[in-house]
Amino acid sequence: MFGMNVKEIDAQQFAQWVEEDGHKMRVIDVRQMEEIAQGTVPKAEALPLHTLPIKVNELDKSEKLVMVCRSGARSAQACMFLQQQGFSNVFNLRGGMMAWV
C-alpha cells in the first residue's frame, strides 16, 4: 500500500512479538498526544510524527522499531522517513490501533 520498501506486520504478529521474552523491539506511537491519551499498544513510547525529524537522533539504528498510529498511514510515513535516514529494521503495524483493538 505504501511501497514495497515499508515492512509491515499485522496485529497478530505484533501481539506475538510483545509476548516473546527474547524479542527485543522498541514500539513508537506517532499519533498526537491527545490520541495517545485515549490508549495505545503495549510498550509504546509517544513520539508524535511531527517531532520525528527533530528526535530521530534519539533512536538507535540497530534496534528493531515498530511504528504505530491510528490506521497505519502516519506510521508508514514514519517508516519511510526512518528508512531514508538509514534505519533498516523498521516495521509498520498494518491497520494501526484500529486493527489492534
Give catalytic residue positions: 69
For residues 41-69, one letter each, b for 16 or more C-beta atoms within 10 angstroms of the residue's C-beta and e for the rest, the string is beebeebbbeebeeebeebeeeeebbbbb
Through-space distance between the first and last CA atoms of the chain, rounded to whole angstroms: 21
